[in-house]
Amino acid sequence: MSKDLIRKRKEDWKRLEHMTTQAQSPRGLRRFARQELRELGRIYRRTSSDLAIARVESPDRQLIEYLNNLLIRTHGIIYRPESRGLSEVRQFLLFEFPALVRQYHRYPLTVLAIFIALAIVSFVATLNNDDFADFSYLGPEMVQQIKSRQPWWEGLNSQAPEGAAMIIFNNAGIGLKAFSMSIFPILGTVLMILPTAMMFGSINALILKYGMTGQLWSFMIGHMVLEFAAIFIASGAGLMAGIAILIPGERTRRDALIESGRPAIKLLAGCLPIFFLAGLIEAFISPLLIHPAFKLATSLISIIALAGYILLRSPNR
């Protein structure tokens, strides 16, 4: 290996050594931007060629040993198994999940639009005719309770904190169902959202007609924001995967499923802590006989916190 070639390559070797040292931090290769990762791969391959040439042409054993040790260090960084510890979970929940929600926001918003449309139809129909409520999944017993002005919801969570686990488990089950049904795009989404949207519209029409709006909303308002947001995100994730399978474009359906399925699963996983928080509020705060202003404050804090969380960006981007 000539001195000129060594002089030309020396800056690349120093750069590779510097990047390898940086990558030995707890965050590993995740600390690098995409273009830096490409640079690392390019210099690593070139240095491997330099080592092969040096072994044949250079009498400098120190140079060969230096390049060999550098490549061993870099190889260990590039090909070491990724850590699955708490730091990665924290990174996912703090930055990756909000970024995915921002990137694929049109799918949860589509589910929200479907929900609103169905709820409005149910609301208007029930407002004009109480009998429509019988067809909106409420059931005659609940309709009669509303007409009799009975606060049926007061006994729903009377077993908290014992009932908290059941509420959280039920919420997570709803999210999983919303995801799995929405994989059958539009039709599955509508079938999943239909019962909840129709009930929501009919209940609000009936409580408006029979003067129970303040009572019911003072119960619901605390946990409703987080619960509905998680349902829409989970259902939107399934919708995204379903549309990719149905309309793969120039990709094969298998490639489309793999490409869209990974972020979809991550979106579903990120909803679980939101369901958990919603369940805690529903179990411990919603049933309390306190002034509705406190529950409204809980709802407003939830809205602000959720918006801030979703808009949170990684400090490295």
- The pLDDT tens digits for 225-280 are 999 999 999 999 999 999 998 888 877 888 888 888 889 999 999 999 999 999 88
- My answer on whether 192 and 221 are in the same domain is yes
Residue (of 45, 23, 21, 42) closest to 32 by Cα position? 23
What number is the average pLDDT over the span 106-116?
96
pLDDT surpassing 90 at residue 77: no
What number is the average pLDDT over the span 163-187?
85
pLDDT surpassing 90 at residue 205: yes
Tell the residue number behind the tokens 């491997």, with chain if given: 48
Q: What's the 3-state SS for the chain?
A: CCHHHHHHHHHHHHHHHHHHHHHCCCCHHHHCCHHHHHHHHHHHHHHHHHHHHHHHHCCCHHHHHHHHHHHHHHHHHHHCCCCCCHHHHHHHHHHHHHHHHHHCCHHHHHHHHHHHHHHHHHHHHHHHCHHHHHHCCCCHHHHHHHHCCCCHHHHCCCCCCHHHHHHHHHHHHHHHHHHHHHCCCCHHHHHHHHHHHHHHHHHHHHHHHCCCHHHHHHHHHHHHHHHHHHHHHHHHHHHHHHHHHHCCCCCCHHHHHHHHHHHHHHHHHHHHHHHHHHHHHHHHCCCCCCCHHHHHHHHHHHHHHHHHHHCCCCCCC
Which pLDDT score is estimated for 85? 57
In-domain check, residue 95: yes
Which pLDDT score is estimated for 101? 95
- My answer on whether 73 and 202 are in the same domain is no
- My answer on whether 62 and 111 are in the same domain is no
Provide the pLDDT confidence category of residue 314 given band limits of 50, 70 and 90: low
- Domain span holding position 213: 90-310
More confident residue, 307 or 170: 307
What number is the average pLDDT over the span 45-51?
89
Which pLDDT score is estimated for 159? 53
Q: Are 271 and 261 in contact (CB under 8 A)?
A: no
* Domain endpoint, select from 38, 60, 82: 82
- My answer on whether 177 and 290 are in the same domain is yes
- My answer on whether 112 and 187 are in the same domain is yes
pLDDT surpassing 70 at residue 317: no
* Domain endpoint, select from 24, 54, 82: 82
In-domain check, residue 200: yes
Percentage of residues of the chain with pLDDT beyond 70: 91
pLDDT surpassing 60 at residue 67: yes
What number is the average pLDDT over the span 208-223?
86
pLDDT surpassing 60 at residue 315: no
Provide the pLDDT confidence category of residue 154 given band limits of 50, 70 and 90: low
Which pLDDT score is estimated for 203? 92
More confident residue, 307 or 316: 307
pLDDT surpassing 90 at residue 111: yes
Which pLDDT score is estimated for 152? 63
Residues 6+ apart with CB under 8 A from 227: 171, 275, 278, 282
pLDDT surpassing 80 at residue 87: no
- My answer on whether 137 and 59 are in the same domain is no
Which pLDDT score is estimated for 82? 54
Q: Which two tokens stand for residue 8?
A: 């030309």
Q: What is the mean pLDDT of the chain?
A: 85
Q: Which two tokens stand for residue 64?
A: 């060969």
Q: Are 188 and 182 in contact (CB under 8 A)?
A: yes
Which pLDDT score is estimated for 162? 59
Q: Which two tokens stand for residue 304?
A: 């602000």
pLDDT surpassing 90 at residue 145: no
In-domain check, residue 261: yes
pLDDT surpassing 80 at residue 306: yes
Which pLDDT score is estimated for 150? 80
CA 216 to chain centre: 29
Which pLDDT score is estimated for 80? 67
Radius of gyration of the chain (CA): 28
In-domain check, residue 299: yes
- My answer on whether 145 and 98 are in the same domain is yes
Q: Which two tokens stand for residue 129?
A: 């005719």
Which pLDDT score is estimated for 287? 80
In-domain check, residue 316: no
pLDDT surpassing 90 at residue 55: no
pLDDT surpassing 90 at residue 169: no
Q: Given CA atoms 261, 267, 269, 275 in this order, what sign does their dihedral have? A: negative
Q: What is the pLDDT of residues 15-45, one digit of tens each?
A: 989 888 888 776 677 778 888 888 888 999 9
Provide the pLDDT confidence category of residue 155 given band limits of 50, 70 and 90: low
- My answer on whether 64 and 94 are in the same domain is no
In-domain check, residue 223: yes
How many domains does the chain fold into? 2
In-domain check, residue 245: yes
